[in-house]
């Protein structure tokens, strides 16, 4: 990468008017080591970003340009595109020595067959997929430090992986047949209005969707398999919560041998003791999306069902921060040798 | 029972100012075969019910009296009291030949040891417990027809039992190790304000509580055991949803033998074909609390995870209607030979 | 009108898949004197209404047809169309002797110049406008009793007119310069998803729109002028509330002579003492949309600012019920000699 | 003041467990020039602040102490107490040379009679009231620069004053008879749960309260009188919005002479051109609480009703940030010569 440490990092965003794109922008506007170099949008070319997002008035005054211009002007490019559009973008970034952080699904799955099975498409640039590093810092920090392409994880996979990884790595639970009952705020559905995100029908509603068919399933299994020593399988059922922000996953796993919840608590405590953005809650507390909203935290609480010998782990994140933009910036910080929490150290509010 | 079919049914409510009590009142005000005979409240004696609930202005003008007066004036008494207070009330109703419908937990569990284990108290009038009938009409209608004491089920157990009973009864699933991930609106927490139901902290929040320790667990197991042929066990994890009304339960069960989801759909369809208040959704739809709110419906959708060989059933009710007051009136109608849907036939709204 | 009182009233809805249309349908499904004869929709021809509104499953099974078929099969037609499309529909209903109740704006304004000014279009069938009766029963009941075309009022004008009419009629306030600060739930924006009704942006938001330019302004002024003895003028500012249902209007008027708030209370009390659907709240209470939601009530509370000599009236309705579908059915009941509250006597809930 | 510029500012909070107190704490935790010296709480003495506010876990680990200890350890004390308790606290801070910033109402009104009239109490330390500076930086920055006691304004008065001050100062509007229709999120009601902030009753509700009787009325009038040249009077009606954060005020004022809205826009533009935290929206946009939530911005939009010759100004703030904690820190920054936006420069989110 041609990253010269002269002055602030020049960061560009491709797909800046989608929710993931604009959340990266919003956070970077308070990142002391970064300056926004360029923003692109297919939907609103030539308009000012504040025309689309008036909430940003007074903080930025920038016209939306094309992708090429973003690549040209930037040292790091965040690509927030619908899946299938990122490979070419990554390729062009590689050609120019620009760090590429992908917010979409294109580089998350390592196995091209699995990608074909769940997304119905095949890899165009297989060599890029070998370069890509899956960006959950708490699990794969070393690889991120030298990556040229970072596949920023999906929101659900982030919450699931952080919640289950220590238990799997330590052999506390069976990696097969884990049930992940996940609930996400509506911002996860993106910016485009639809009938089921129309306020009068969405408010006071709650429902699952894509039951056991969601594309984040293989991504979760890939990570859990990677941290353990045998193939993991999960039943993954997402639900739509009538809130804007937050994912909470309630995860049920069979214990391998009876190991008390206090031992599990201790193992998790060690696993995350040096992690700024993972908070293992004390026994008796339960993770809550309210307490991580608008922050980069992942809160985890540990429970058990003794009667049925299950370990129950609950994890909560802000789907747009630790589940998307915040984690992307965390990855950028790691790669570009900025202190890891710079720009993403928001303190959550109780109300 | 001394129920004379001259004129309208005289119905009284003990505990009329709690949420369950006032919801029964609200529904009965539009029940053409019922007149409200008396209302009691320990918290607001002597006050008019409209002082506590101004939403009822113009519909009722009645002072809150004592329990004795409610029993004396009524042919049917709905008891909406904290657990532990209903046995004496039921006893007095029995003495007077008054039908008693209990909204609390006192008469739900048949096994006194189980009651002791989960509620920390023992039965005072064991003979009353033998008389009490557990009031889910779709499962136990015949017994309800002649009952003197009806134990109105808990909200979570209603949603769980209706969602799982056909599969268990037909031997489609293993009755052991069922996982019930349930989500309830805040009205289920009752009328008393607390920190975690304080609007600024409750809105935009979502969290589990009493993980695998909720008192509805043995009630669910009792019903599932009753409809099947062997002991059922469940892991039950409730969550608090930032909505007022609704329970949605996502339930994961191991299939006994591989039986396709279309067969399951057909068995459920037959099980509920004559039931006014259970709607089996067509394949491809998912149950949603929005579509049952303020109605007595239970919506059920059937799904599967082929990869892990699980049946996934989703059921949705309004926790205060089918999960409490509506079902209580349904039980009253059945017992007192009123057409079952009278007074509780509300059409849900999409918005 | 060719309305024969044999059996139930045959009611059809043109525009049945919009929010106003489907709310009429939802309420009529519980109206004992009505049967639904036909439903039309330009957007979803040939589909079953339950495909569009799954909440209605189990209550109706009817295919969407064309407008002509609705007219042919019905004794009363509710037209729920965008403005500009109702005159022809009304004309065809008149030709067939079918009662027409219009949910749109086409027949609300009597003055064609005023209509031209605010809607940019002119009357096509001026004679129909002379026949049309403006349907606020509490103010114009006698005219409604014999009307062939009923212009069902807008939601904001209903709340404003009911709140201010007694004060204007009794000469308590200046009819000029009244300020109406109104707040509406999002269902008032209709079924079509837009950016500002997209859940993640709408929730936790609050903002005015069409400040002093909303088309309900002349409609409010027309009614207030009609009930008083001189021309009324209002400043009308609507806001979008992050709730589905409800309008609350806070209205500020200069008192003509100092007349105590208790006298005003008494005059309002007399004005509405025989009205089922208007509830004048006792002194000290304030109107709240929660307490009228999903009901046909209009709650009114009376206040004053002695320091600045203003009368302040607050009125609350459900914008889709008393502000649309409920009032339309109330009008139908009056016109067709059904008891006025039949089918619309819902009791509001406190939670 | 004994403020030595060696190292970070030592800031203490009295009443740290109320909503205003903990919001100051939350913001100061990200203030690079401040360290938290001590926190007091009457309600939870001896507990750790994270026991009360688990959202702060990982960011602070501090036991709640007594007021004296807070004063002793601090260079600046924020007092977030119910009114009537701040004078003694301020007195003790003055004795020790500690800067005191009061979040309550005690020092806001200059006129003791007015204070007596609205709060029913009299000044205990009149000399302190002469020292106190009313802390809206955009209006009174110079006085704040040297103040020892800063009376942090109420939330409603902040929104009203910023929205109206330029128009009054420039003589565009009559200062008498201004109508302020204000709507606040529920966090403004504080931490203590009550019936009307109980989620099931608060959600989907909307209602005014303390109509024309709210104690913020004289505070608003005092500020508007101070910036103009004659006595201002307002009719102030607050409403409770079902959101956690935000105040939006819609303000109606008679224009003194007809002056076009574009001139008003220009005057406001000049008034706030150097203000970081006031954003005058371009013509055609309307202020929205969503776009200022969790930020220190005040957004203002200018409108008119030509038909009734009114200027209509809409202002929006986060009631807990610009309306409380953010403004308090802004005042601290000004007084202690820190750059004004440090620690409070949050970028609002669109969703």
Torsion of CA C206, C210, C215, C220, to 10 degrees: 60
Residues contacting D9, CB < 8 A, separation 6+: D3, D33, D34, D35, D75, D76, D332, D336, D338
Q: Which residue stretches of chain B have pLDDT < 50?
A: none
Asked if B243 and A179 come within 8 Å (Cβ–Cβ), the reply is: no
User: Quick check: B26 contacting C, CB < 8 Å?
Assistant: yes
Flag if B350 and C53 touch (Cβ within 8 Å). yes
pLDDT of residue D5: 58
Contact C244 A203 (CB under 8 A): yes
Q: What single DSSP character describes residue A198?
A: B
CA distances from B222 to B158, B342, C32 (A): 12, 29, 40
Cβ–Cβ gap B199/D19 under 8 Å: no
- Give D127-145 as a DSSP string: HHHHH-EE--HHHHHHHHT
Q: Identify the three-state secondary structure at position B38.
A: strand
A349 touches chain B (CB under 8 A): no
Mean pLDDT for D67-79 is 98
CA distance C181 to chain A (A): 22
Note whether C185 contacts A: Cβ–Cβ < 8 A.
yes
User: What letter does residue D105 receive in the DSSP assignment?
Assistant: S
Q: Among B185, B193, B202, select the one facing D195 at the smallest CB separation.
A: B193
- Residues of C designated catalytic: 155
Q: Which residue of D has its CA nearest to A276?
A: D58
Residues of chain C in contact with residue A244, where contact means CB-CB under 8 angstroms, are: 199-200, 203-204
pLDDT band at A4 (very low <50, low <70, confident <90, very high): low
Q: Is the CA virtual torsion C178, C184, C189, C195 positive or negative?
A: positive
What are the strands, taking DSSP E only, across chain C? 9-14, 34-40, 64-65, 76-79, 99-102, 133-134, 149-151, 178-184, 207-208, 234-240, 247-254, 278-280, 298-305, 310-317
Helices (H), B292-345: 326-335
Report yes or no: D107 and D129 within 8 Å, Cβ to Cβ.
Answer: yes
- HSE, side-chain direction, 13 A CA sphere, residue D47: 13
Model pLDDT, residue A1: 64
Phi, psi of A90 (to 5 degrees): -60, -40
Structure confidence at residue A6 as a pLDDT band (50, 70, 90): low
| Mean pLDDT of the C120-139 span | 96
Model pLDDT, residue C3: 58
Size of interface B-C (CB pairs under 8 A): 70
- Position D183 scores a pLDDT of 98
Chain C residue nearest residue B244, CA to CA: C351
Give the N- to C-terminal CA distance of chain D in Å, as an integer.
43
D1 touches chain C (CB under 8 A): no
Residue B220 CA neighbour count, 13 Å, CB half: 32
Q: Residue C78 in contact with residue C12, Cβ under 8 Å?
A: yes
Residue among A29, A187, A204 whose CB faces D347 most closely: A29
| Phi and psi torsions of D52, nearest 5° | -85, -40
Label residue D257 by pLDDT band (50, 70, 90).
confident
For the cut 60, the answer to whether the pLDDT of residue A67 exceeds it is yes
Model confidence pLDDT, tens digit, residues A242-258: 999 999 999 999 999 87
With 80 as the cut, is the pLDDT of residue A5 above it?
no
Give the pLDDT score at D305: 97
Q: Which residues of D touch C204 (CB under 8 A)?
A: 243-246, 289-290, 293
Closest CA–CA distance from residue A61 to any residue of chain C (Å): 22
Contact of D32 with chain B, judged by CB distance below 8 Å, is answered with no
> Tokens 């409770």 appear where?
D240
- The answer to whether the CB atoms of A55 and D279 lie below 8 A apart is no
Output the DSSP codes for C104-171: SSTTT-S-HHHHHHHHS---S-HHHHHH-EE--HHHHHHHHTT-SEEEPPPHHHHHHHHHHHHHHHTT
Helices A216-227 and A155-169: crossing angle in degrees, nearest 10, is 30
**Model pLDDT, residue B8:** 95
Burial of D20 per CB tally in 10 Å (0-12, 13-18, 19+): buried
Read out DSSP for C74-101?
-SEEEE---TTSHHHHHHHHHHHT-EEE
Q: Classify the phi-psi angles of B100: left when phi > 0, otherwise alpha if psi is within -120 to 50, otherwise beta.
A: beta
Please check whether residue A194 touches C, CB under 8 A.
Answer: yes
**Locus of tokens 């008019």:** B48
What is the percent of chain C with per-residue pLDDT over 70, rounded to a whole number?
Answer: 98
Please check the confidence at residue D113 and state whether its pLDDT lies above 90. yes
For D286, the closest chain A residue by CA position comes to: A54
- Report how far apart the first and last C-alpha atoms of chain C are (Å, whole number): 43
Measuring CA to CA, how many Å separate A311 from each of A178, A249, A307, A308, B209? Answer: 10, 13, 11, 9, 15
Contacts with B56 from chain D: Cβ below 8 Å: none
- Is the CB of residue D9 less than 8 Å from the CB of residue D1? no
> Does the distance separating the beta carbons of B276 and C350 come in below 8 Å?
no
Residue B4 is predicted with a pLDDT of 58
Nearest C-alpha neighbor of B248 from the set B178, B151, B313: B313
Touching D (3+ Cβ pairs <8 A), the chains are: A, B, C
Contacts of D289 in chain A (CB under 8 A): none
Taking an 8 Å cut-off on Cβ atoms, the answer to whether B179 and A177 are in contact is no
Residue A336: count of CB within 10 angstroms of its CB: 18
Q: Please tell me which residue of chain D has the smallest CA distance to C299.
A: D207
CB burial class (10 A; 0-12, 13-18, 19+) of residue C229? exposed
**How many angstroms away from the CA of C282 is the closest CA of chain D?**
15
| For residues D113-128, average pLDDT | 96
- The catalytic residue among A93, A155, A202, A298 is A155
Nearest to D200 among B187, B195, B200 (CB): B187
pLDDT digits (tens, 9 = 90+) for C74-123: 999 999 999 889 999 999 999 999 999 999 999 999 999 999 999 999 99
Q: Does B197 touch chain C (CB under 8 A)?
A: no
Distance from CA of A146 to the nearest CA of B (A): 36
Closest partner CB to D347 (pick from A26, A245, A350): A26
pLDDT of residue D3: 59
pLDDT one-digit tens code per residue, A306-328: 999 999 999 999 999 999 999 99
Q: What is the pLDDT of residue C258?
A: 74
Residue C337 reports pLDDT greater than 70: yes
Which pLDDT does position C83 carry in this prediction?
85
**Half-sphere exposure of residue B96: CA atoms within 13 angstroms, side-chain side:** 18
Name the closest residue on chain B to residue C60, using Cα atoms.
B347
Measured between CB atoms, which of D54, D276, D285 is closest to A291?
Answer: D54
Chain B from 98 to 137: CB within 8 A of any A CB: none
pLDDT band at C308 (very low <50, low <70, confident <90, very high): very high
Q: What is the mean pLDDT of residues C150-167?
A: 98
Q: CB contact, 8 Å: C171 with chain D?
A: no
How far apart, in whole angstroms, are the C-alpha atoms of residue A103 and residue A150?
9
């Amino acid at each position: 990468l041609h990253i010269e440490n002269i002055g602030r990092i020049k960061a560009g965003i491709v797909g800046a008017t989608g929710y993931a794109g604009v959340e990266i922008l919003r956070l970077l506007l308070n990142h002391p080591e970064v300056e926004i170099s360029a923003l692109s949008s297919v939907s609103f070319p030539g308009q000012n970003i504040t025309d689309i997002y008036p909430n940003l008035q007074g903080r930025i005054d920038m016209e939306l340009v094309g992708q090429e211009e973003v690549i040209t002007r930037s040292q790091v490019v965040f690509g927030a595109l619908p899946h299938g559009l990122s490979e070419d973008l990554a390729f062009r970034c590689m050609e120019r020595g620009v760090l590429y952080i992908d917010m979409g699904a294109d580089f998350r799955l390592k196995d091209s067959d699995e990608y074909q099975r769940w997304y119905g498409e095949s890899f165009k640039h297989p060599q890029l997929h070998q370069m890509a590093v899956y960006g959950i810092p708490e699990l794969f920090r070393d690889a991120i430090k030298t990556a040229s392409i970072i596949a920023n994880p999906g929101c659900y996979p982030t919450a699931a992986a952080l919640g289950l990884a220590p238990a799997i790595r330590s052999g506390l639970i069976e990696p097969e047949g884990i049930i992940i009952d996940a609930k996400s705020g509506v911002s996860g559905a993106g910016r485009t209005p639809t009938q089921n995100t129309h306020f009068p029908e969405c408010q006071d509603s709650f429902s699952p969707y894509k039951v056991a068919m969601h594309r984040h399933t293989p991504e979760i299994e890939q990570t859990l398999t990677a941290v353990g020593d045998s193939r993991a399988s999960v039943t993954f059922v997402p639900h739509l919560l009538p809130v804007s922000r937050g994912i909470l996953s309630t995860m049920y796993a069979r214990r391998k041998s009876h190991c008390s919840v206090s031992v599990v608590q201790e193992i998790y405590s060690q696993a995350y003791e040096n992690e700024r953005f993972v908070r293992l809650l004390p026994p008796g507390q339960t993770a809550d999306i309210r307490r991580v909203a608008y922050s980069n935290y992942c809160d985890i609480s540990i429970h058990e069902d003794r009667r049925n010998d299950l370990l129950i782990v609950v994890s909560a994140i802000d789907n747009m921060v630790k589940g998307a933009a915040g984690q992307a910036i965390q990855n950028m910080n790691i790669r570009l040798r900025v202190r890891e929490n710079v720009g993403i150290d928001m303190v959550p509010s109780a109300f």
